Structure 1
């Protein structure tokens, strides 16, 4: 809903400053909605009126210092111009306060608004009267709220106001929001407050949980009967961690009981006292890093010697990765579970919880199709390693996901994982690894049953200011090297809650041998799984209607691809290639054949048969292969001795027409050409024209390709660029579905 006074503020900026040109910004939308864009514009306008030559969105040290140096404080006796005052009035309206008529007059309404602002900030006693001071002016020109919003806690707001009022005169302390919500700024302000009370001078206190802070807190235990500012800080920390306590300066039995409950929750010794470890858990995500944990995770193979080291450290649960996406990884060669390792873990009385991570270090890698692919890939890998039904797999979100990225990327990704696991029959459980906010939100959405919290990354936005998730299973707090000699191993130490206990015994690993013929008793199951996935990404079984209609149904595509199972099996064995690579590319392309493709095919035929038009080639047939690509792939494989045939010229009409007709009319020929295109792709598509400069060379075709190599081959089949990348993400889930059943076939064949 538009606020008419905000509209007037936006109009004031537009009309006064040349539709933003004077300020170096675009014209503001006069929509009556407060936003960072509006606050940035007002900040620039303020800087302009103060004569600052380099305008910035940031209300930084230069702007703050200029206010102090030029005016001391801002009121009816110091404001230099009517426009300067209008900027203040506009900012007040954008913050929800009465700024008068935006008439350039610092009148009684403006003065009352400033007094109300200071009271809401908690600095009314420090700054009595109606003058704006440099730090409160800075607090006016941002989007922070000083009243509770969105269900904010009055208890947390009281802590925020107290911090502002008590420490605002310290050099490096600035106004924090008083909205009733914990946040990065609030968490940092608590650390400043602790450091100030420890006696650190301005310029020494830095809001970081460093050695000086840790040392000082070890002598600041509070317990029943304690009073004063340290109890206020402790009870404030409890409130910020969403514990049901009062903000108080007296440590009573109620606070002691709440402390005991918190200690029990985070797995600290239950003393009911505010000792160092409890302070640490309240103030920073990783807590007391000197703690020993019952769990660890790492990228190093567990040998018998290393298992003995871990047991000596009190560790029972070991997190290991199901896959390593980097081929021939020389940096982390043992990141993935190694052959025989799970048996060593079990034989030595340890338990293993599996982690699935490819890269997962940016939001763009998270979406629904990628989640479906990740779910199936993790299931396949878990079964291959021998994990039993009921095992919880922790899927990694290893980056600082902002809240909107959790909403737009991470949650759809985990919905995809959940759908994949559900379609598989719920053999495995789903866990989430990531920052606190990610874990909490994925759990709240119903996509996971336990959290593995990356609390060691204390600077992550999703950790700073968020409480430990209620369903935490493992809490990652520090990297440490333990043991010596052959038993030495670097681990990430994890506190264990007992919500997940990993596995202590395992099935025999699935063989990774060549693919075999499909057992058609499983045909309906594969048909159903493929259908569910394609429908989940918008492809109706019947091909759909309207402009997005496809010419072939799911069943037609499936039956066509599977009718060549004997040939596909033979080709996969001949080229040391997974059948799923052939099946995925052919099925995906056939599902996408539409009226436009058909019209283009007619145009190609008209060009070669009637001399009409200019369309000499197109991607055609069930596997959507062009004449040129077919020629280049066949020529490459003929020259390498992988296949026999006639060398054709990919630049002449006659040879293009010969090759085009084969892939257009002969389904068996198309299915035979698919693996040759993949082999051509392995070698970087030499002789191809896309992309400019060619592709990188992959490892020679093999059965143990990593997911990254598989992704590259699937993407190269289609081409290069954003569309090919996005489609390859979607096709990875198809690959994993085909591979799931091909793996079952290999297992049945023994």
Structure 2
């Protein structure tokens, strides 16, 4: 918490809290948009604006323009206190929080101006105020920003800040920077009414330049190569051999023949926009239409050889609704004509609320089943669509979770997962393990495309749309990573109901009841030992515990033994006995493939709690049609449970006492409790009793070396 920021927040609420339309700032000492909005609304009130709003729009700028000339050294008023408050929130010290325009404020203004790359004269302007009353950063963001990108941002501010406004200078290539680069190009080539949009006038005026040239256009090309990751030299406007090499590399990466060092429309627009030159040639397309022989003939005539088609679903509503799913007959006609196919899955995904891990898992299963029915061969990449412009801050909790669910489902099938979406979404997909990306670059105005580079795993790039005959198509560039498929062999792809598996789990525990999810069922409930089971229709996540693989109905004994040895300090040939007991639990649920994670804790009274979280991916050699976790919780108090029972090599009371202060003793007790818990669950499944457990424990520990 920053006390100075909190002072600003408290003052804002005390001063403007009763003003109509003012939204109070959180008094937490943390700068964020709510505090910035409160600062803006306070400023609007001081400027005489009655309809307060969160933005810093034209009305605010117009009202400020009539006042800005008065805001100079010696001026006193609440506006100055708001300005100083904004500086504190920006992380630039004005040295006090008064209403006086003093020399300290002048110093703070100069600091902001220097960071923004504009003349540091200590004077407030409308554009500088807009940048100040904002969350934009003017320092290099550690771990994210790049110094050369920041230098570019400062250059653009210095040259075009009066026209464009003052842009962030944080070293991160983003939408505002991208727009400014296009604006700089327009200025350099003399486009009337430059606005940062690469429209028809800019397309028509875009020149072709090559090695030996020296101009502002070349500097824009250098900046474009820099932010796309192809150039790290000086951005001095000189088209030298290094620039030529970078252009060739960019052409090859984007598949923009001819692979020369010249920068033409395809290169320049490709560097500055997501859709690039929309008149360029390509070999691929995608369409939601179920194709006729005439469609296929037309596609061949246009030079297309790869077609993207949807595995399932329909498009349109009401009378306009029609099927979009690929059929076996259609596949035969496409391949007989010599064309290849790549599969797309989209049965939703137009709104952010659609995306979750569970939805991804279900979509992965559905897509794999349909691909198998149509005969797509092993190794085919299925592209899962994220057809919405999700903001960067929302991707992690929605689309990333969705993609992880897809990956978990598809990895059990013969296929590979791919992603369709904005550049930002696809960059996240590349990071989490999507094999290839299908770019939604045609939507060049989407925030997820502006200011983001192309992922290295791109296979297809959708860049324009038009009809061929009466059929609408999206033209798609191809990198060559995915050639599409032209040979098909339909196959069965069986799944098993997760509810059926859940019921089998309960039967294995002697509970012939209907499966209820997210509800604990007590199996053993005595003072010294409690065992419960809970069914969860998602993949529960354990706290920092490695997942031990279950494959072909057996636990990975090596990994489990390693966990016992490293986390529980248990060694010896008795480990095999513990693994065998754990496998009895797996067998009771007919788990074929999955994993198990272990959570362990001990409280101050010596009570241990072990959670075994079984993620069931396949049962009875079939993939589940939904996510399923079985959480077994074993709570025991060793000092009570084993009173009078001799445990070889273990002084239980002493171990419990030492575990409160000694890490090694704590880990040893965890290992000991794990053995007890697994044995207890196994015995219960087999119909045994507590006395059987007490008799078995000494046998399990015979030969174990604890310590």
The answer, yes or no, to whether TM exceeds 0.5 is yes
Asked if structure 2 preserves the Cα contact closer than 8 Å seen for 1:293 and 1:496, the reply is yes
Matching residue of 2:187: 196
Secondary structure of 1:168 counterpart:
helix
Deviation, 1:405, is 2.4
Question: In the alignment, which of 356, 366, 373 is matched to residue 367 of structure 1?
Answer: 356
Mapped partners of 1:337, 1:329: distance in 2: 21
Contact 1:541 1:555 in 2 (8 A): no
* Deviation (angstroms), 1:554: 8.2
For residues 519-668 of structure 1, the aligned pairs below 5 Å read 526=496, 590-592=515-517
State the SS of the aligned residue for 1:394: strand
Alignment partner, residue 157 of structure 1: 150
Following superposition, the deviation at residue 72 of structure 1 comes to: 2.9
CA distance in 2, matches of 1:3, 1:594: 43
**Closer/same/farther in 2, CA of residues 74 and 231 from structure 1, 3 Å limit:** farther
For 1:286 and 1:413, the matched residues in 2 are separated by 26
8 A Cα contact 1:531 1:554, kept in partner: no
Q: Which residue of structure 1 lines up, in the alignment, with residue 438 of structure 2?
A: 452
Q: 1:312 aligns with which of 295, 298, 301?
A: 301
1:70 is aligned to 67
What is the aligned partner in structure 2 of residue 116 from structure 1?
111
Deviation sequence 1:231-265 (CA, Å, 0-9, x none): 11111122222333332211111111111111111
Which residue, out of 334, 347, 352, partners 1:345? 334
| Aligned counterpart in structure 1 of residue 122 of structure 2, from 130, 139, 154 | 130
Show structure 2 runs of 5+ residues with no match.
Answer: 522-618, 627-707
Q: Give the match's secondary structure for 2:456.
A: coil
Q: Report the counterpart of residue 484 of structure 2 in structure 1.
A: 502
Pairing 1:398–2:387 present: yes
Displacement of 1:465 in angstroms is: 0.8
> Aligned pair in 2 of structure 1 residues 336, 28: CA closer, same or farther (>3 Å)?
same
Q: Matched residue of 2:35: which SS?
A: helix
Name the counterpart of 2:561.
Answer: none
Whole-angstrom distance in 2 between the partners of 1:337 and 1:328: 19
Q: CA RMSD, aligned part only?
A: 3.0
Residue aligning to 2:211: 224
2: distance between equivalents of 1:384 and 1:554? 36
Q: Given the two structures, how large is their TM-score scaled by the length of structure 1?
A: 0.66
Q: Distance in 2 between matches of 1:327 and 1:462?
A: 25
Aligned equivalent of 2:11: 12
Q: 1:468 aligns with which of 454, 470, 473?
A: 454
Structure 1 residues 356 and 73: alpha-carbon distance in aligned structure 2, compared to 1, 3 A threshold: farther
Relative to structure 1, is the Cα distance of residues 85 and 305 closer, same or farther in structure 2, using a 3 angstrom cutoff?
A: same
Higher RCO by CA contacts (8 Å cutoff, separation 6 or greater): 1
CA drift of 1:228 comes to: 2.3
Please tell me whether residue 180 in structure 1 is matched to residue 167 in structure 2: no
Residue 51 in structure 1 maps to residue 33 in structure 2: no
Look up the match of 1:91: 86
Report the Cα offset of residue 268 of structure 1.
0.8
- Aligned residue pairs, count: 528
Identify the structure with the greater strand proportion. Answer: 2
Q: Is the 8 A contact 2:315 2:324 kept in 1?
A: no
Which residue does 1:147 correspond to in 2? 139
Change (3 A) 1:591 1:554: farther
Q: Aligned residue for 1:100?
A: 95
1:637 alignment counterpart: none
The answer to whether the 8 A contact 1:385-1:509 is kept is: yes
Residue aligning to 2:345: 356
Does the aligned pair in 2 maintain the 1:356–1:395 contact within 8 Å?
yes
Residue 99 of structure 1 contacts residue 113 of structure 1 at CA under 8 Å; is this kept in 2?
Answer: yes
CA distance in 2, matches of 1:323, 1:357: 7
Work out the CA distance in 2 between the residues paired with 1:184 and 1:441: 17
Aligned to 1:407: 396
- Does the C-alpha gap of structure 1 residues 49 and 242 become closer, same or farther in structure 2, counting only changes over 3 Å? same
| Residues 360 and 366, structure 1, Cα contact 8 Å, conserved in 2 | yes
Q: Secondary structure at the match of 1:417?
A: helix
Q: What SS does structure 2 have at the residue aligned with 1:22?
A: coil
Aligned match of 1:388? 377
* 1:543-563, Cα deviation, whole Å (9 max, x unpaired): 6xxxxxxxx768966xx8xxx
Hey, what does 2:25 align to over in structure 1? 28
Q: Could you tell me how far apart the structure 1 residues matched to 2:165 and 2:466 are?
A: 36
- What is the CA deviation profile of residues 520-558 of structure 1, one whole-angstrom value per residue up to 9, with x for unaligned ones? xx9xx848x7689x7xxxxx9866xxxxxxxx768966x
What are the Cα deviations for residues 668-687 of structure 1, in whole angstroms up to 9, with x where unaligned? xxxxxxxxxxxxxxxxxxxx
Counterpart check, 1:300 vs 2:282: no
Distance 1:95 1:272, change over 3 A: same
For 1:658, the equivalent position in structure 2 comes to none
Greater Cα offset, 373-382 or 237-246: 237-246
1:76 and 1:212 map into 2 onto residues whose CA distance is 45
Given that 2:306 and 2:341 are in contact with CA atoms closer than 8 Å, whether structure 1 keeps it comes out as yes
Distance (whole Å) between structure 2 residues aligned to residue 541 and residue 13 of structure 1:
61
User: Residues 700-739 of structure 1 correspond to what in structure 2 (within 5 A)?
Assistant: none
1:182, 1:594 → 2: CA distance? 48
Distance 1:590 1:129 in 2: 72
Q: 1:435 to 1:362 in 2, by over 3 A?
A: same
Partner SS state of residue 322, structure 2: coil
CA gap of 1:140–1:555, structure 2 versus 1, over 3 A, is farther
Residue 428 of structure 2, aligned match among 441, 449, 452: 441
In the alignment, which residue of structure 1 is the partner of 2:532?
A: none
Residue 361 of structure 1 deviates from its aligned partner by 0.7
